[in-house]
Structure 1
Amino acid sequence: MTQAPERPRLLVPGLLPRDPMRERYRVRPGGSTTVPLHPGDRLTVTDPQGRQTAELTVRGADPADARDERLFGEWSPAGATETITVAAEAVARVAVPDTRMSVADPDANPPSDLLLELHRAAPRPSDEPRELPPPLAEPVAELRIDAATALSYQVKAGQYVQVIDVEGRQCSDFLAFSARRLDDGVERGLDSTTTRYLMGNAYPQPGLFGKFYDEDAQPLVEIVRDTVGRHDTFGLACNAKYYADMGYPGHVNCTDNFNRQLRGYGIAERAGWPALNLFYNTAFDANNLLVFDEPWSRPGDYVLMRASADLVCASSACPDDIDPANAWVPTDIHVRVYDAERKFSMAIAHRVTPDAEARLTRETGFAPRITALTRQITEYRGYWLPSSFDNHGPTEEYWACRERAAVMDLSPLRKFEVLGPDAEALLQATVTRNIRKLSHGQVVYSAVCNETGGMIDDCTVFRLGDTNFRFVGGDEYDGVWLREQASRLGLDRVWVKDSTDQLHNIAVQGPASRDLLRSLIWTPPTQAAFGDLTWFRFAIGRLNDHNGIPLLVSRTGYSGELGYELWVHPADAPALWDAVTAAGEPHGLTPLGLDALDMLRIEAGLVFAGYDFDDQTDPFEAGIGFTVPLKTKEDDFVGREALLERKAHPQRTLVGLELAGNEPAAHGDCVHLGRSQVGVITSATRSPVLRKNIALCRMAVQHAALGTEVEVGKLDGHQKRIPATVVRFPFYDPDKTKPRS
C-alpha cells in the first residue's frame, strides 16, 4: 500500500500541545527554581548565552546524600548543558547568582538566564489540570469558570480582577456594571463605543489611556496588565442568533449564560451582550470587514483590571466550538480578585520571538526621578518612558535642546556584550561597517541586514578592547540573531551576552552639554579626557572623581546637536540623574520626552525602526547608505551580495519633503505625482526651527531630484492632497557641524 505523503504541520509557535513527559522552567539572575524529582527523572540545565555559573543543590530523604555543585563557569560556551538522572525521590534547586556587571570592566560579563528541562520517567496523568500561574498576591476570591459557562461576581472599588486563560486560545467575555447605579434602578455597563471615542483606541491598554467607560462616560475598570495585547470590543458576545444562522440552533452561548447569571441583579436580558471579549482575536481588514482567527493567548496569559467603582461583573468561558474563536476547543477560564490595598505595576507583555517567555513592561533605573516630574508615561519597546514632562511640554523641551541642554532617558536601547576571540569576526560578518577598522574607544554607526539586504536594525558598536565589543541596537531580537549567526558560521569562541538590564543610559544633548558635564566626568590617565572626546568616541570614567560612580560616557546622540550619552548600572541611575540635573540648572537643562525627541530626530534626518526602515528596506532606501562601504570592506557580511545588486539597481530612496501650508503629513501617507503613487511618508513633524511641516519620504528614484513637486495624499489619497517639494535633508544642520563641534 502506498503511504500517503506527510502533510506539513501548521506552525503555531508557543501553542504546542502539552507533553506529559516534559517540563520547562526558567531561572533568572538573582532567582532560583525548585522542582521535585522522582526515580528515573532526568534534569537538564542549559546556559543559553554562555558564561553563566549555576548553583545546583539536590536534597534527598537522607541528608547524607545531599549534593551541591557549581555548573558551567566563566567561559562556558553558549548552549552548554549539564544533565543529572535521579535514582530516588529528591528535590533539586537551581539558582543563578545576581552578579553586578562592572561598567569599567572591558571584559564585563552580565548575568543571564538559565533554562531547566525536566524529562519525567513516568508521564503525568493526562486528565491532570494545567497548573495555574502563581497568584500575583494573596487573592480575596478564586473563581473557576468551567468551559461553556459563565459566572457573576461582585467587586469593590479599587479591587483588582485577574482573568486567566487556563489552557490558552480561549475567549472570555467580560461584563461590568456600576453597582451604585443598579441600586438606583439604572443599568450602566461597559460601553465599547464610548470607550473607543474617549480613548482613541480600538481597546485600551495599560498606561495613560487604559480605562473602559459606561455610556455616561464614567470609568468602570482600568487595564493594569495585559499579557496578550489582542482582544475585541467590536462585536457581541456569542448568542443564539449567531449559532442558529450558522446552522446550529439551540447551541449554548455566552449571552444566554450571562442572562441567567444576571437575573438576580435586576439586569434586563438581552439577545446579544456587548462585552469586552478578552483574548478574542478580531480585526478590520483593508476593506473594513470584521475578521477573526485563533486567539493569541497562551496558557496562563491574563488581563489584570482595577475596578474604578463598586461593580457587578460577569465572566464567561466561551462555548464557541464551530469556528476559530476558541481554536475549536472551548476550555476553562479562571478569575482571581485581589484586595484594593495591593499595588501592581502596569505592564504589557512582550516576546522577543513567538516561542520566548513573555516579559512584562519594566521601569528604567531613572524612573524614580522621571515619574516625580510627569504623569505622561507611555510604553516604549518593553519599558515605560515619558512622552513629555508636566510643566514643560514637547515644544519647550525641543527648544531647550536646540538652544541650551536637555536630558532624556534612552535606557530601552538593547545592549549586548560581544566577547571572545571570535567577537570581531562575528561583528565583521553581521554588520555592514568595517569593524576591523574600529579603534579602542571608538563607536561606529552601522546597519544590520538580512540575506536579502533588508534591515534587521540599525546599531552602534563600541570597541572596548581587542576582543571586547558592545553592540547597542533598538530591538531585543538583535541578540538572538547574533547568536544564530555565530552558530551558523561556526564561531564557537564568541559570547553574546544581554546587558540591557545592567546598563541604563541618559543622553545630555544641546549646545551647553559639554560645559554642563565638564565638571562631572572624571577619567583616568588611561582614558581620553572628557573635554577631548571627539564625535563617536567614548571613555570609561567616574562621576565627579576617582571615588565616584563608574560610568561610560560617549559622544553620541539622537538629536542633531552636540551631545553625550552616559551609561551606568541601573542602581546608580538616580544618583546620576541628580548630579546631571543639579549641574544643569545654571544652563537651563530641561528633561525631554519622546514627543520632543521625535521632532529633533526628524529635523536631523535620523531614521527610526518601523517607520523609516524595516526588513523590506535596504540601507540605501533608508537614507543611510553611508553605512555600507561595499568598496572598502572586502570581508563578506550578511546581505552583501543583495546590497551590491540593490545599489546597482535602486528603486527607491529616502528624501526630504517640505509641505505647503500648515497641515502636517503622517507616517504612512501616500505621495503622488498626478494619479500615480510615487512614494510614502515614513516620518513627519512640524519643525519649530524651520516653522514648516517637514517629512521623510521613501520616493521612487525617478522623482527624487531636489525641487521635484509632489502631493501628499490624505483621506483616500485622492480626495485631499497637500503640495510638497523635495528638499535637501537633514533639514537642520545638514553638514552636522553642531554634533561635530
Structure 2
Amino acid sequence: MNVRVGAVPLRRTSLVLRGGEVAVFDLAEGDLCRVVDAEGRQRGLLFARDMSVLHGVPPRDDKPSDDEVAAARDALGHHDADMGDLCGLSLFPADAEPGATVVFRAQSRSTVAVIAPGARMAPDQQTPPTDLRIEIETAGPSSGIAPPPLAMLKLDQRILAGTASAFRVSAGDYIQIIDVDGKQCSDFLAFDAAALAEGREFGLDPTVTRTLMGTANPGPGLHSKYFDARMTPLVEIVRDTVGRHDAFLLACSAKYYEDMGYPGHDNCTDNFNRALKPFGVAPRAGWPAINFFYNTFVQADDTIAMDEPWSRPGDYVLLRALTDLVCATSSCADDIDTANAWNPTDIHVRLYDKAETFSKGIAHRMTPDAEPRLTRETGFHPRTAALTRSFVDYRGFWLPDCFSDEGPIAEYWACRERAAVMDLSALRKFEVIGPDAEDLMQLAVTRDIKKLAVGQVVYTAMCYAHGGMIDDGTVFRLGQHNFRWVCGEDYCGIHLRELAAERGFKAWVKTSTDQLHNIAVQGPRSRAILATLLVTPAHHPTLIELKWFRFTVGKISGIPVIVSRTGYTGELGYEVWCHPAQAPALWDAVMAAGAGDGIAPLGLKALDMLRIEAGLAFGGYDFSDQTDPFEAGIGFVVPKDKADPYIGAGALARRRANPMHKLVGLDVVGNEPVGSGDCVHLGRAQIGVVTSATRSPILGKTIALARLDVACAAVCTAVEIGKLDGHQKRLAAQVGAFPHFDPQKTRVRADASHDERGRSPPDSISESLEPRGAGIRA
C-alpha cells in the first residue's frame, strides 16, 4: 500500500435521506459526494443552481416533475440558498440495482438538494419509498462544528475541551448537551435556582434518582426524571442518542489525578467550582454529577471499570428543566486513560424555549455505523396515547405497556374470553421482489418456500451458517415473484441483500416498515367483529372463508387493508395491515364494531402472559444467535425433506442429530417471581436457564419457559430455580407440558363452522408448512 507523505486525511460525513423526503447540504470546492441507493429501485433527484460545477453527474433523459422541482425549490429556500435557475436531474434508473451509486465532485462551492421521491404504499403493493445514503468526503481537519440546532436558539455555547461553564435555565426550557467530535465525557450539574437564591443548595442527587426511578440512569419515557435530595424532580430526559452514561461516580477531581501521579492536572471538579462561584455555590472536593457519554460499569466481581465512551460525533442528550435552574456543564479534562478516548474535545450546549415541542426518543442503530434513529410513534399512537401514558420503547417504537382503564390482567381476560386489539406496528417488514425472489427466500429461511401458495403465510426461522438464529418471522406470498418478510430484526434486510449479492440473484429487498403498520385483533370474538367490517373483492376470500395462516385483501370502512389469520396469543385472531396515515381511522372502526362484544385494547404486559402460556418464542429471551430453532422450541420450522440448500442447513442437521438443550415448560411452586436469566439447577449443578416467565391468570400459577440440558428435560423432572447466587435460595419447579395452555391449538384453529372455542378440522395445507405451536412474533 502506497502512502503519500504529507497527505491531508479525508473526513467523511454521512447522512440518510428517508424515502419521500428532501435533503439540502453544502459542498465546498473539491468535495466528493456519493449518493447510494442501498436497496435499489429508489428514484433519486439532484437539484442545484448550476449543475455544471458538479463534475461526474451522469446525464439522464428522465427529468423531475414540476411538483418535484417545487419541492426542491422550497427546501433550498428554507436553507437560504440562492436558487436562481434551478436545474434538476434523475440520479438512478427505475430498476436500479441494490447499491447503485452516483459519484460527483464540486468544482466550486455549491448548495444542492437531493430528493428520494415516493408516494404512500397500499398494503397489497410492494413499492415503498426507501432511503438514499449520502456520503461527503472533504479534505482538511474537522471543523468541530456542532450539528444544526433543533429549533430557535436561546443559548448557543461552546464548552472548550477541559473546561466548564454555568448558565441559568427557565422552567420548561430545553437543554441540549452535544458531544461535538464523539467519545467525550460531559459532567452535568443542576440546582434549584429559587432555593439557591435563599442560600440553600439542592442539586441533582444520583442516589435519590436511582431509588425513585428504579434504574441506574433515567432515559426518555416513564423513567426520565432526575431528582434532588428533597425528592423534587429538577430535569427530565427527553431525547438520548447514546443511551450509555453513569451517575454513580464523582466528576474527576484533583485527588484522582494526584493518585494517578499527575498533581495539578485540570479537572472537572475545580472547573465546576470556578464556574459556579458567581452563583453562590460552595466549592467541593468532588462533585456528584450526571456523567453523560461516560462508559463506566460494574463488573461481575463488583469492581468498577471503564472504557471509551459510546458517543459518536453529534450525539446528544436533550433535557427539559422542571423548575428554574442554575446548571453547569463540563468537557471532561481526562487525557490519561480511556475516559475520553485519550483526547478531550469540545462539548456544545444549546437552550430552546419551552414553547418548542420535541418528540421523546432513544436512538437506535441497525449497525454500528448506521445513522441514529430516534424512537418513533406508530400510526395508531394518537389512539393508544389517549388511553394510556404507559409506553415503552420497543425496537424503536413507542408501544403501550398497559392501559389506564383496568390494567394488564383485565386486558388478558378480554383476549381469552372476548376480543382484544393491540398495536404491533414495530414489526419489521421487507418486500422481496424480482424474478429470483423465490430462490432468495428459499435460501434464506428454513421452510420450503416453493410449497407456499399465493395468499398463504408461513412461520419460519432465518439462521446463520452455524445454525444460530437471526430471527423468526412470517413469509407472505403476494405473487409468483413477490414475498413479504415480517420479523422483529432490522438486520434481516441487510442479510437478505447480502445473500442476493453473493449469489447474483435478481431480487430486491425493500424496507416497508414505515409504510405498513398493523394491529392484531385476537380472541374468540375476533372473527365475528371483523366479519362485519371487511369487504373483499370477489376473487379474494372473505373473512369467514379465511383459513389459518392465509391472508386476504379488502377494505374496512373504505381503508385498504390486508388481513391475515395470524397472531401471537394462542387465540383465534387476525392481523390487520394498513398505511400508517389511515391507522387512526382503522382503530376507530374496529373498536366501534367490537364495542358490543367487549373488545378492549391490549398492551405488552398482557401480551407477554398470553404468548408464554402459548409457548411462543420471543427474540432476545427464548432465542438468540447462539440458539438454534430446536433449542428455541420451534424445531418444527426445520423440515427434514427440504430439497434445496439453505443457510445453516448443514449445521442444523448436525444439531438435530446431537441435541444439547431443549426448551421446556416449567410449573413453579409458590408465588415468588421468576425472571428471565434465572438459573435452573438439579442439585448443585446448573442444567439450564429460564428464558421467559409469568404468572398465568388462567392456570393460577407461575409458569416459565426454560432451556435445559436434554438429559434433564423429561416431563415431571423436579428442578429448582436459583435466586440470589443460585445456591442461597431455590424455588421448586417441575418440567411440565409445553406449551402450558391449549397444546393442540384448538382455539387458534377454530373453524367458522364450529364453536369458536372448539377444535376445527385441519386446514387443507401441506403439513410441512403447518405451524405447530407458533405464531407471528411481536
TM-score if structure 2 supplies the norm length?
A: 0.90
**SS of corresponding position for 1:739:** coil
1:526-569, Cα deviation, whole Å (9 max, x unpaired): 2111111011000011114xxx1110000000000000000000
1:599-633, Cα deviation, whole Å (9 max, x unpaired): 0000000010000000000000000000000x210
CA contact (8 A) 1:60 1:88 kept: no
1:488 positional shift: 1.7
Q: Aligned to 2:207, which of 193, 198, 208?
A: 193
Structure 1 residue aligned with 2:133: 115
Question: Are 1:216 and 2:230 an aligned pair?
Answer: yes
Residue identity opposite 1:46 in structure 2: V
Count of residue correspondences: 716
Residue identity opposite 2:540 in structure 1: Q
1:179-237, Cα deviation, whole Å (9 max, x unpaired): 11112221111000000000010000100111000011110100000000000101000
**SS of corresponding position for 2:16:** strand
Q: Aligned to 2:38, which of 48, 69, 90?
A: 48
CA contact (8 A) 2:15 2:371 kept: no
Question: Are 1:597 and 2:627 an aligned pair?
Answer: no
Q: Aligned to 2:691, which of 667, 671, 682?
A: 682
1:26 positional shift: 2.6
Question: Are 1:132 and 2:146 an aligned pair?
Answer: yes
Q: How does 1:215-614 map to 2 (within 5 A)?
A: 215-491=229-505, 493-544=506-557, 548-614=558-624
Residue identity opposite 1:715 in structure 2: L
Partner Cα separation in structure 2 for residue 549 and residue 443 of structure 1:
22
**SS of corresponding position for 2:501:** helix
Q: Aligned to 1:697, which of 695, 706, 710?
A: 706
Structure 2 residue aligned with 1:640: 649
1:133 positional shift: 1.0
**SS of corresponding position for 1:398:** helix
Q: Residue 520 and residue 38 in structure 1: after superposition, are their counterparts in 2 closer, same or farther (change >3 A)?
A: same
1:341-368, Cα deviation, whole Å (9 max, x unpaired): 1111110000000011110000000000
Q: Residue 40 and residue 171 in structure 1: after superposition, are their counterparts in 2 closer, same or farther (change >3 A)?
A: closer
Q: Matched residues, percent identical?
A: 59
Partner Cα separation in structure 2 for residue 444 and residue 534 of structure 1:
12
1:74-100, Cα deviation, whole Å (9 max, x unpaired): 321101122344555544321111311
Residue identity opposite 1:490 in structure 2: G
CA contact (8 A) 1:455 1:619 kept: yes
**SS of corresponding position for 2:195:** helix
Structure 2 residue aligned with 1:10: none
Q: Residue 565 and residue 30 in structure 1: after superposition, are their counterparts in 2 closer, same or farther (change >3 A)?
A: same
Residue identity opposite 1:48 in structure 2: A
- Bigger drift between 92-101 and 352-361 goes to 92-101
Residue identity opposite 2:101 in structure 1: T
1:665 positional shift: 1.1
Q: Residue 453 and residue 186 in structure 1: after superposition, are their counterparts in 2 closer, same or farther (change >3 A)?
A: same
Q: Residue 65 and residue 88 in structure 1: after superposition, are their counterparts in 2 closer, same or farther (change >3 A)?
A: farther
CA contact (8 A) 1:619 1:628 kept: yes
**SS of corresponding position for 1:400:** helix
1:113 positional shift: 1.0
1:21 positional shift: 5.6
Residue identity opposite 2:721 in structure 1: V
Q: Residue 346 and residue 23 in structure 1: after superposition, are their counterparts in 2 closer, same or farther (change >3 A)?
A: closer
1:392 positional shift: 1.5
CA contact (8 A) 1:60 1:89 kept: no
Question: Are 1:74 and 2:94 an aligned pair?
Answer: yes
CA contact (8 A) 2:122 2:578 kept: no
Structure 1 residue aligned with 2:629: 619
Partner Cα separation in structure 1 for residue 9 and residue 456 of structure 2:
50
Structure 2 residue aligned with 1:710: 719
**SS of corresponding position for 1:464:** strand
Partner Cα separation in structure 1 for residue 276 and residue 563 of structure 2:
62
Partner Cα separation in structure 2 for residue 681 and residue 502 of structure 1:
36
Partner Cα separation in structure 2 for residue 40 and residue 315 of structure 1:
37
**SS of corresponding position for 1:738:** coil
Q: Residue 54 and residue 253 in structure 1: after superposition, are their counterparts in 2 closer, same or farther (change >3 A)?
A: same
Q: Residue 361 and residue 64 in structure 1: after superposition, are their counterparts in 2 closer, same or farther (change >3 A)?
A: closer
Residue identity opposite 1:693 in structure 2: T
CA contact (8 A) 1:226 1:349 kept: yes
CA contact (8 A) 1:104 1:541 kept: no
**SS of corresponding position for 2:479:** coil
Partner Cα separation in structure 1 for residue 445 and residue 372 of structure 2:
28
Q: Residue 255 and residue 203 in structure 1: after superposition, are their counterparts in 2 closer, same or farther (change >3 A)?
A: same
Residue identity opposite 1:677 in structure 2: Q
Partner Cα separation in structure 2 for residue 291 and residue 589 of structure 1:
51
Partner Cα separation in structure 2 for residue 38 and residue 389 of structure 1:
53
**SS of corresponding position for 2:376:** coil
Structure 2 residue aligned with 1:202: 216
Structure 2 residue aligned with 1:14: none
1:19 positional shift: 5.1
Partner Cα separation in structure 2 for residue 57 and residue 252 of structure 1:
49
CA contact (8 A) 1:195 1:212 kept: yes
Q: Residue 82 and residue 41 in structure 1: after superposition, are their counterparts in 2 closer, same or farther (change >3 A)?
A: same
Q: Aligned to 1:148, which of 143, 156, 162?
A: 162
Q: Residue 257 and residue 39 in structure 1: after superposition, are their counterparts in 2 closer, same or farther (change >3 A)?
A: closer
Q: Residue 287 and residue 209 in structure 1: after superposition, are their counterparts in 2 closer, same or farther (change >3 A)?
A: same
CA contact (8 A) 1:448 1:456 kept: yes
TM-score if structure 1 supplies the norm length?
A: 0.94
Q: Which runs of 5+ in 1 are unaligned?
A: 7-16
Partner Cα separation in structure 2 for residue 443 and residue 625 of structure 1:
18
Structure 2 residue aligned with 1:11: none
Structure 1 residue aligned with 2:22: 32
Partner Cα separation in structure 2 for residue 213 and residue 467 of structure 1:
57
Q: Which runs of 5+ in 2 are unaligned?
A: 53-82, 751-778
Structure 2 residue aligned with 1:9: none
Structure 1 residue aligned with 2:179: 165
Partner Cα separation in structure 1 for residue 286 and residue 30 of structure 2:
54
Partner Cα separation in structure 2 for residue 408 and residue 171 of structure 1:
40
Partner Cα separation in structure 1 for residue 547 and residue 559 of structure 2:
23
Q: Residue 335 and residue 515 in structure 1: after superposition, are their counterparts in 2 closer, same or farther (change >3 A)?
A: same
1:119 positional shift: 4.4
1:410-440, Cα deviation, whole Å (9 max, x unpaired): 0000000000011111111010111010000
Partner Cα separation in structure 1 for residue 112 and residue 169 of structure 2:
40
1:34 positional shift: 2.9
CA contact (8 A) 2:10 2:137 kept: no
Moved over 6 A (4+): 61-65
